[in-house]
Structure 1
Amino acid sequence: MTLMREARDYLTHHDRAERAKMTPEAQLWASSETMRLTARLTQIMAWLLIQKAVHAGEISRADAASAEHRLSGQEVCDTNGCLDEVVLQPKLVELLDRSHRLYQRVARLDSMLDSVA
């Protein structure tokens, strides 16, 4: 939740001002990476809510292991995009790195559900 709040606060209060100083190409990359950040956090939150429902007895572990409740978006979320090609805002780079590491941890947990199904 802390990471989500930090991302929200950054995107709401600082992102626009920092992007105004960037080249048009860098602005495009920053927009793309911002969407990647949002996708990662959305996928992680959805997965965590499913796990919470399992622990609350609202759905079974077998249901949680079904494809529709699994972590998805790997083609977008499990990559680091253009971080080496373009200079992005330092805070955005930090948020991207932290969200990527968290996504990878959740992906490892999600893969453990294969033994449940």
Structure 2
Amino acid sequence: MQQPAFFGRTYDEAMTLMVEARNYMAYVEQRERRKAEAMAGLRMSCEAMRVTSRLTQVMAWLMMQRAVHAGEIEADDALSEPNRLSGLEVCLDQTFGRDEALPTGLRSLLERSLSLYQRIARLENQMLERMH
């Protein structure tokens, strides 16, 4: 079964964002955190983990949908409770996402990962509604 065009674009977007986040965490975030005061550095670490959580959840969900389109699993199985998008409490928290004290690069990753996570959550909800 061929994947819908939106799926390929969304998967590519998620993968690109994941690589960008990885590079940011590996090369920029540590340096910026060392320059920051203790509490600001801790907040940066927490928000970096939030980006990672969002992207991990999104990629796991997209990989499950890819398996459906490849005929490896049934759509019902992909939308069963253990395979659904999770981590809503952490991933949807925006408490510090727009904090001007956070580096611009991290704020950008927070904003874009949130947008992607919310889009996938809406898509999953639509799919669940169609099933019932």
Tell me which interval the TM-score lies in, with the shorter structure as reference length. Answer: over 0.9
Residues 85 and 15 of structure 1, relative CA distance in 2, 3 Å threshold: closer
Shift of residue 79, structure 1, vs aligned partner: 1.7
Give the aligned partner of residue 22 of structure 1. 36
Residue 88 of structure 2 corresponds to residue 65 of structure 1: no
Give the aligned partner of residue 23 of structure 2. 9
Give the TM-score normalised by the residue count of structure 2. 0.84
Shift of residue 108, structure 1, vs aligned partner: 0.5
Instruction: Report the more deviating stretch, 75-84 or 100-109.
Output: 75-84
Shift of residue 84, structure 1, vs aligned partner: 4.7
Give the aligned partner of residue 5 of structure 2. none
- For the Cα contact (< 8 Å) 1:54–1:60, is it kept in 2? yes
Structure 1: 5+ residue stretches without partners: none
How many corresponding residue pairs? 117
Match for residue 51 of structure 1 among 65, 74, 77: 65
Structure 2: 5+ residue stretches without partners: 1-14
Residues 79 and 51 of structure 1, relative CA distance in 2, 3 Å threshold: same
User: How big is the alpha-carbon RMSD for the aligned residues of Structure 1 and Structure 2?
Assistant: 1.2
Residue 127 of structure 2 corresponds to residue 116 of structure 1: no
Distance 2:52 2:59 in 1: 11
Shift of residue 80, structure 1, vs aligned partner: 1.2
Deviations 1:78-115 (A, max 9, x none): 12132355611110000000000000000001102212
Give the aligned partner of residue 78 of structure 1. 92
Instruction: Report the more deviating stretch, 82-91 or 61-70.
Output: 82-91
Distance 2:38 2:61 in 1: 35
Distance 1:11 1:23 in 2: 18
Instruction: Report the more deviating stretch, 63-72 or 90-99.
Output: 63-72
Q: Following TM superposition, where does structure 1 have runs of at least 4 consecutive aligned residues deviating by more than 2 angstroms?
A: 83-86
Give the aligned partner of residue 104 of structure 1. 118
Distance 2:110 2:64 in 1: 23
Distance 1:83 1:109 in 2: 23
Q: Secondary structure at the match of 1:14?
A: helix
Identity %: 49
- For the Cα contact (< 8 Å) 1:29–1:86, is it kept in 2? no
